[in-house]
Chains A and B, each alone.
Chain A
Amino acid sequence: MEHTTAIHAEHDSHGGTKEIWRTFWILLGLTIVELALGYMMIGVEGHGLRLTIKGAIIILMLAKAFYIVAYFMHLKGEIRNLVMTILVPLGLLIWAIIAFLYEGNAYKSNRNTYDAYKREGSYMQAPGKKAHETTKPEEKRTGTME
């Protein structure tokens, strides 16, 4: 429960909530832009355009993550060793994301090439079911949910 003597690095000076609120407005702005992009994307059919908008959303998401970690979690004010302890594994996580998405896509290509059943399943239309009509949940439930 004691705290080991740590050389106190400079942090928010007394009354220094300015940076906190500044970060809030940045986060709010980024979120609004993200949502606007998401809304704009509704009804857009073009594959390339959709991908571009999604790319922009991802970049905004990473910017938000940066601001939360750097300012709210105060990582920006910590010493380099701690910063690296956090950032290096996360960098490796980026590698994992790319590798797995690539794998998922490769799996899809392979199945579509070699598995006629799966390929044709992507052409058949769902028998015009409306959300509230089919699969009555009351029939399938084994316990009370309400």
Chain B
Amino acid sequence: METTTVGADTKWWNGGKSPFNVEYGKLMMWYFLMSDTFTFGAFLISYGTIRFSSNGWPDPNEVFKSYPGSGEGTNAPLVFVSIMTFILIVSSVTMVLAVHAGHERKKKQVATYLIWTIIGGLAFLSCQAWEWTHLHHEGAWWGMNPFPNSDGTPSSTNFTNFFFTITGFHGFHVLSGVVINIVMLIMTLSGTFERKGHYLMIEKAGLYWHFVDLVWVFVFTCFYLL
């Protein structure tokens, strides 16, 4: 990892400046994201442990194979989740662009990119809501698993319990991220950041949003691919 141009002979811990060379709030956001990483890490590790301890497990390509508008008996594995992943990646890009516009103090551009990010987040939530509803209509829920294991043996409810819990927590983070972004948008439009002289809060909201995208990378890989 490259270090910045600020020399290593700088006395970081002698006071008078941030020892990590970032603003306090930004450092705290990193620490919070670390704690959230451990939470999701714990969830996914427990999922992995239970799965490794099970003789059989449903085949995700048999479970997740529809998309909105597809009829009964559609066999299109990975299609819908690809769309969801793409939406989240693009919304991450628009968020980075919003932060970048903030560095350049371009208020209108910040607002535009925030709006795109919010739309992306809402689109993702809608997709996830559809996925949940669709699965529920097939008989899946906490404590209910209609899908047999891939080897044909009867499955336990571990599969659906983990799926709904972990995607639920992730979806909740997406929702709170969208709310935060809406607040950021309102603050941008009302000129709060112009008055402050910096758009640092957008950066912090950006870190949170990228974290949400990052968690999805792991969640979708674990549940749909592996």
Q: Count of B residues near A, CB < 8 Å?
A: 81
CB < 8 Å: which of A16, A65, A124, A137 contacts B154?
A124
B-contact 0/1 string along A55-90, CB 8 Å cutoff:
001100100110011111101111111110110011
CB < 8 Å: which of A5, A16, A85, A100 contacts B20?
A85
Interfacial chain A residues near B32, Cβ < 8 Å:
none
Indicate if the CB atoms of A137 and B12 lie closer than 8 Å.
no
Indicate if the CB atoms of A9 and B54 lie closer than 8 Å.
no
Indicate if the CB atoms of A125 and B23 lie closer than 8 Å.
no
CB < 8 Å: which of B23, B95, B217 contacts A3?
B23
Indicate if the CB atoms of B139 and A136 lie closer than 8 Å.
yes
Say how far B10's CB is from chain A's closest CB, in angstroms. 7
CB of A7 closer than 8 Å to a CB of B: yes
Known contacts A97-B48, A112-B55, A137-B139: does B93 contact A24 (CB below 8 Å)?
yes
CB of B4 closer than 8 Å to a CB of A: yes
Indicate if the CB atoms of A57 and B10 lie closer than 8 Å.
no
- Which of the candidate stretches B81-89, B163-171, B172-180, B183-191 sits at the interface with the other chain? B81-89
Indicate if the CB atoms of B214 and A125 lie closer than 8 Å.
no
Say how far B78's CB is from chain A's closest CB, in angstroms. 6
User: How far is A89 from B41 in the complex, measured between Cα atoms in Å?
Assistant: 11
CB < 8 Å: which of B2, B96, B144, B148 contacts A137?
B144
User: How far is A122 from B54 in the complex, measured between Cα atoms in Å?
Assistant: 9
CB of B50 closer than 8 Å to a CB of A: yes
Which B residue sits closest to A37, measured CB to CB?
B225
Indicate if the CB atoms of B1 and A80 lie closer than 8 Å.
yes
Known contacts A82-B27, A93-B37: does B45 contact A100 (CB below 8 Å)?
yes
User: How far is A82 from B29 in the complex, measured between Cα atoms in Å?
Assistant: 12
Which B residue sits closest to A140, measured CB to CB?
B144
Q: Which of A92-146 contact B (CB under 8 A)?
A: 93, 96-97, 100-101, 103-105, 107-108, 111-112, 118-119, 121-127, 129, 131-132, 134-137, 140, 145
A-contact 0/1 string along B67-102, CB 8 Å cutoff:
000000000011000100110011011011100100
Number of A-B contacts (CB under 8 A): 208
Interfacial chain A residues near B148, Cβ < 8 Å:
126, 129
Indicate if the CB atoms of A6 and B92 lie closer than 8 Å.
no
User: How far is A39 from B23 in the complex, measured between Cα atoms in Å?
Assistant: 44
User: How far is A131 from B62 in the complex, measured between Cα atoms in Å?
Assistant: 10
CB < 8 Å: which of A79, A124, A140 contacts B21?
A79
Indicate if the CB atoms of B86 and A31 lie closer than 8 Å.
yes
Say how far A110's CB is from chain B's closest CB, in angstroms. 9
Which B residue sits closest to A122, measured CB to CB?
B55
Chain B residues within CB distance 8 Å of chain A: 1-6, 10, 12, 16-25, 27, 30, 34, 37-38, 41, 45-46, 48-56, 61, 77-78, 82, 85-86, 89-90, 92-93, 95-97, 100, 103-104, 136-139, 141, 144, 146-149, 151-155, 196, 198, 200, 206-207, 210-211, 213-214, 217-218, 221, 224-226
A-B residue pairs, 8 tightest by C-beta = A104-B52, A9-B4, A122-B55, A104-B49, A126-B148, A104-B53, A3-B23, A126-B154
